[in-house]
Structures are given as structure tokens and as C-alpha cells.
């Protein structure tokens, strides 16, 4: 195991991380996009993005795109490289505001978090479409880990913390249990060659209806490319 520093809330840090990783000339068979914050007070990343959208979504969007060439070179016909992105059941109530992705006009911690998690699902489906169109040996899937007992809840209201403390043993998954579906997506032979799936408890299930809107997927992808400053190669793909 080797550690390389990467701050997903910093576009500069992400680019530096990718440079350091590429310099090692290592293959990349599995990328798990798992960083995140939840219900933080209104604040911005160093690049000026609303923190939920900037860290949870845009950071992973940029990281994945910068590593795509390495992933494509690492995958083979019999062993695809795999991209696993961790979303949340919260995406079911999320709304994507393309005219206000930064929640500048009306900030709600719950709304901003749900939007970032919906964006991750839309991103995964569009990414898989592009990978298939290019004939790449890379698959992209999205995972719902369930309700997991981690420090992600540190910004919730104090009464919720008390309830969580009292009931976590009964209703919350352990971190190990929460990781199981991501691990399943990353290494299971059953997922070989399968992409564009939403997984919960190691089973394929249906995500929110709006997440299958291909026009919304395209528009989010194009806007995301502008926001992080990369060329939108998907413009050539219908």
C-alpha cells in the first residue's frame, strides 16, 4: 500500500496528484470515488465552488477524467478497468439546478448534498455511454453504500446525533459493511464487463427516474467540463 496525497476540494491538488501517479507508470485497474462531505454550512472550496458540489462531485469528475487514459490503457477485453462512484439514496430526492449548481440563490445543506449525489449518478451513466461509444475496456458503475456509521454525520443537528448514538448499532451499517458493495463492484467476476449500473447491497437496482434523462446527463457533463477547465470530448458523441 502506498499513500499519495490528494485533496478533492482543490483542482490544483487533483492535478498534482495525477501528475505524481502518472510518473510512477503504474497501471490503474480500479478507481473508487468515495470522498465526500454532508450537510456542511454554506462555504466554498479554494476554487470558489459550493463545497458539496465542488468536493463530492466536481473533484471526482476532474479526477476521473484526468485518469481516463491510464484506465483505458490498463483495461483489457477479458479484464476491464473499473470506475466505482459512491452516491447515496439521497439522490432520489435530489434536484439538479443547471442554472444554479452552486446553490447561490437559495442554499440548503440537504438540497446541496442531494444535488451532488444526483450529479454523481448522472455523471456515471454519461461516462459509461462515452466509454461504450469509444470501445474502451473500462466500466463505470455507481454504488449506494446504505446508512453507514461514520464521521460523515458530524454536521447534523445535535438531536439527530443523539438518536444516531442510541440507534447506530441497530440501524446503521459498520464501515466494513458499508464498503461491501463498492468492493463487490470493484472485484466481483459477476460485474466483469457490466457498466452503467446502480448497485445497492451488491444488487443492481433502479436509480431515480431523472437520472436516466440523457439530455440532462449531456448538459451536466458539458457544464462540468467548463467548470473544471477541461476539453469536452463528449461533444463528438451523440
Smallest CA-to-CA distance from 207 within 147, 144, 145 is with: 144
The residue from 57, 113, 184, 198 that is catalytic is 113
Catalytic: 113?
yes
Q: Please identify every residue annotated as catalytic.
A: 113
Amino acid at each position: 500500500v502506498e499513500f499519495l496525497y490528494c485533496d478533492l476540494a482543490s483542482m490544483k491538488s487533483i492535478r498534482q496528484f495525477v501528475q505524481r501517479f502518472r510518473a510512477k507508470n503504474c497501471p490503474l485497474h480500479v478507481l473508487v470515488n468515495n470522498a465526500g462531505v454532508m450537510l456542511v454550512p454554506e462555504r466554498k472550496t479554494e476554487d470558489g465552488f459550493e463545497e458539496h458540489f465542488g468536493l463530492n462531485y466536481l473533484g471526482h469528475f476532474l479526477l476521473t477524467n484526468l485518469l481516463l487514459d491510464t484506465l483505458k490503457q490498463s483495461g483489457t477485453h477479458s479484464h476491464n478497468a473499473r470506475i466505482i462512484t459512491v452516491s447515496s439514496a439521497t439522490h432520489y430526492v435530489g434536484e439538479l439546478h443547471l442554472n444554479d449548481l452552486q446553490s447561490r440563490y437559495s442554499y440548503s445543506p440537504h438540497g446541496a448534498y442531494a444535488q451532488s449525489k444526483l450529479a454523481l449518478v448522472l455523471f456515471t451513466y454519461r461516462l459509461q455511454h462515452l466509454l461504450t461509444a469509444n470501445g474502451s475496456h473500462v466500466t463505470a458503475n455507481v454504488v449506494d453504500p446504505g446508512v453507514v456509521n461514520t464521521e460523515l454525520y458530524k454536521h447534523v443537528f445535535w438531536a439527530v446525533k443523539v438518536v444516531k448514538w442510541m440507534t447506530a448499532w441497530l440501524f446503521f451499517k459498520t464501515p466494513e459493511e458499508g464498503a461491501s458493495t463498492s468492493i463487490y463492484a470493484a472485484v466481483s467476476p459477476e460485474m466483469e464487463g457490466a457498466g452503467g449500473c446502480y448497485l445497492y447491497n451488491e444488487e443492481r437496482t433502479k436509480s431515480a427516474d431523472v437520472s436516466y434523462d440523457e439530455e440532462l446527463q449531456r448538459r451536466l457533463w458539458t457544464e462540468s467540463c467548463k467548470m473544471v477547465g477541461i476539453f469536452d470530448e463528449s461533444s463528438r458523441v451523440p
